[in-house]
Amino acid sequence: MDKELNWSEKEIKEIGSRIVGLREDQIAALITISGVEFDFKDIENVVADIKTNKEKSGHLEIVICEADTKESLLWWLEFFEKHSK
């Protein structure tokens, strides 16, 4: 993607914390459907990094800032949170 989304630092921290709370399969799906362009072969390692390093993962901000749209990322994040309970 050519253009990164503009989030405030507070938004990045809040969304990052929410993503870390998802299951691994949900994080992988969120990455894919939100339009972040990781190679498929790398997604498992990206997810492992996010689950291991949590908010300190460099991949987490990439997922947040390189999604196609804010609306899509937030909609899918809410969907996964709702269905993981």
* pLDDT tens, residue order, the chain (85 aa): 456 788 999 999 999 999 999 999 999 999 999 999 899 999 999 999 999 999 999 999 999 999 999 999 999 999 999 998 7
Is 71 contained in some domain? yes
Q: How far is CA 66 from the centre of its chain?
A: 9
pLDDT at 25: 96
Q: How far apart are CA 72 and CA 75, in angstroms?
A: 5
Does the residue 3 lie in any domain? no
Give alpha helix (H) positions in 1-85. 9-20, 24-33, 40-53, 58-65, 70-83
**Domain hosting residue 55, numbered range:** 9-83
pTM over 0.85: yes
Residue 1 domain-assigned?
no
Provide the domain count of the chain.
Answer: 1
Q: How confident is the model at residue 63, as a pLDDT? A: 94
- Residue in the block written with tokens 């938004």: 11
Domain membership of residue 2 (yes or no) is no
Question: Is residue 68 one of the residues assigned to a domain?
Answer: yes
Within a domain: residue 66?
yes
- Is 27 part of any domain? yes
Residue 47 lies in a domain: yes
pLDDT of res. 6: 86
